[in-house]
Amino acid sequence: MEPTDRVRVVSLEGDSRTDREDMLAVEEPLEIRVRPGPDRKPASFVVTMRTPGQDDELAAGLLFAEGVLQSRTDLVSLDRPADPRISPEVRSNVLLATVSPEAFERAARLKRGTVMGSACGVCGKTSIDNVLPVDSPPLASSLRLSASFLYALPARLREHQSIFSKTGGLHAAALFRAVDGRLAGVCEDIGRHNATDKLVGRSLLAGELPLEDSVLMVSGRAGFEIVQKAYNAGVPIVAAVSAPSSLAVELADAGGITLVGFLRDRRFNVYTHARRVESARETMP
């Protein structure tokens, strides 16, 4: 399934009227089913709206964010349904996650009865305690970055937003290595939470978690769900093009994460743990 689609539109600009073709980002449901073995009957866990592409990464990242997967060994395989009675269109929107017995038990306790929209990063949670655990230790990272390192991130992110450049309708999340500034990966989706899940899921599948030496850069604002996903993945620095929410700042502070907002036009604000940004004033712990 393609991540973009073409439609006919009527475009008006001043007194000019044009009938032309436009390109849109695709939004389709993805049902994630879990099972404790390849011969066991799967149970539906959640249906989430997403832009097709990197579905394995999205499923892995979402299951990790929800607490179903706690390590790479919890995920045995990801497959499409093999039942020939299921149409190819439906099959492309369903993923079967074969997981460890322990992970399946966690999934059963967390089973969702709702559809998560592409703009929803917390809809699947059953309580705020699942999102903001009070007994989780803060990330103890000694990373330090210069302001110039951060200034360069928005342009580098935009350079790799290939689908956004065609549609103008997708969010993106990128990982940069703090040691050398290397771009480790970029994922796009109609939902910024999905883009982050895809990025974390890719790292989980590659056995690269925790991401202790990385910076997460997201387009748009930084809601607390983005900070929560970064914390789970061990990312000590999160930067966003737009503003953070109050709960994002609260969670970043408690979780030991340096949270940067309004990162654009060679300026930004550091909301928590500013000691990791070399030129930032050391006014926060």
Q: In angstroms, what CA-CA distances link 170 with 57, 192, 235?
A: 17, 8, 23
Residues 87 and 53: their CA atoms lie apart, in Å, by 19
Q: Is 120 a catalytic residue?
A: yes
The C-alpha angle with vertex 285 and arms to 144 and 262, in degrees rounded to 5, equals 65
**Catalytic site residue from 24, 47, 115, 120:** 120
Residues 285 and 271: their CA atoms lie apart, in Å, by 10
The C-alpha angle with vertex 214 and arms to 208 and 220, in degrees rounded to 5, equals 115
- Show which residues are catalytic: 120
